Amino acid sequence: MRILVTGGCGFIGSGFLRYALAQEGVERVVNLDSLTYSGRLENVSELEGDARFRHVTGDITDAALVSKLMEEEDPTHVVNFAAESHVDRSLFAARCFVSTNIDGTLCLLEATRARQEATGKELRFLQISTDEVYGDLETDDGFFVETMPLDPRNPYSATKAGADLLALAFAKTHKLWLVVTRSSNNYGPRQFPEKLIPLMITNALEGKQLPVYGDGKNVRDWLWVDDNCAGVWAALVNGKPGEAYNLGGASERPNIDVVKGILAALDKPESLITYVKDRPGHDRRYAIDFSKAKRDLGFEPNMTFEDGLAKTVAWYRDNAEWWTALKGGSFADYYKEHYGKLGLKGD
Active-site positions read 131-132, 156
CA distances from 133 to 20, 143, 154, 166, 310 (A): 26, 13, 9, 13, 29
CA distance 210 to 204: 7
The Cα-based distances of 242 to 4, 145, 171 in angstroms read 20, 16, 6
Contact in structure between 274 and 212 (CB atoms under 8 Å): yes
Name the strand (E) or helix (H) holding 20. helix 11-21
- The answer to whether the beta carbons of residues 111 and 119 sit under 8 Å apart is no
Q: In whole angstroms, give the CA distance from residue 92 to residue 205.
A: 28
Rg, Å, the chain Cα set: 19
Q: Which of 204, 2, 32, 215 is nearest to 122 (CA)?
A: 2
Counting every residue written for the chain, the total comes to: 347
From residue 305, give the alpha-carbon distance in Å to each of 165, 188, 204, 301: 31, 10, 19, 10
Question: Which value, to the nearest 10 degrees, does the dihedral of the CA atoms of residues 2, 34, 61, 331 take?
Answer: 140
